[in-house]
Structure formats: C-alpha cells, structure tokens
Amino acid sequence: TAKIGGLGKFIGAATAADGRIVFAPYDANSVGVFNPVDSTFELVDITSQISEDYKFNGAAVAADGRLVFAPQHAGGVMVFGDVATTTTITTATDTTTTITSTSTVTTTTRSTTMTNTTTST
C-alpha cells in the first residue's frame, strides 16, 4: 500500500472506466489511484511536469473516458487518460514527457495531458 503524509493531498475524484477511483492532486506530487477490487492505492508521480502547491481542485470524466482535473493554481487542466495507456504530459511549450508511475503496489503507466488555458473577465 502506498503511503503519503500531510494534509490536503487530494481534492476531488472521479471513477475511471475500469472502476478505479482517481484522485486529483491538490498538494500531492502525484495522482492517486485507488482500486476498489483489491483495495490497493497507487501514486502516479507528476513532479517532472508540475511542482507548485494547490495544483488541481476537482475531477470529471470526459465523454471519451479520460479524466480531467480542474486547475486551482496550475497553469491549465490536466487530462488523465485510460489507466492502461502510456503517460504523457504536454505543457504549453508542446514539450512531451513520458512518465512511468511506481508505487509499493505495482508499476504501471498512465496517459495524461497538461493544457494551459486562458480566461478573460
């Protein structure tokens, strides 16, 4: 079982197509993935792409099954793909990085995309 300390690690979660519950990182440096079938919890490290605190606040499922994290202090939304695909985060500069997640439970890969958004008031 993966362990993390501190307060405010995740805010919001959504259920992936395979039934796993994916937690949006707020003050955590990883996306949390809980598998209710075997009660395991995995951390998908995202520190190579985003390091600020208070990253995201909430999660929703898109029509294509990907999970979207709403930005709090992050520069854009994060799109977390199918749990069986490759992990990539694309930043505003179109830099793509593959991330392999590791936890004490299992090693897997994930698909994520980071997209900057601009809003006007």
Instruction: State both tokens at 62.
Output: 């898109």
Give the end-to-end CA distance of the chain in Å, rounded to a whole number: 44
Residue 49 falls within a domain, yes or no? yes
Does position 60 have pLDDT exceeding 70, yes or no? yes
What total number of domains does the chain contain? 1
Q: Could you report the per-residue pLDDT of 76-117, keeping only the tens digit for each?
A: 888 887 554 434 444 444 444 444 433 322 223 344 555 554
Residue 121 falls within a domain, yes or no? no
Residue 3 falls within a domain, yes or no? no
Q: Could you report the per-residue pLDDT of 6-22, keeping only the tens digit for each?
A: 788 999 999 998 899 99
Residue 101 falls within a domain, yes or no? yes
Residue 2 falls within a domain, yes or no? no
Nearest to 28 by CA among 49, 48, 11: 11
Residue 22 falls within a domain, yes or no? yes
Give the structural domain span for 112.
10-116
Give the dihedral sign, CA 107/92/68/10. positive
Give the range among 30-34, 37-41, 113-117 with minimum mean pLDDT. Answer: 113-117
Write down the pTM of the prediction.
Answer: 0.68
Instruction: State both tokens at 9.
Output: 């690690």
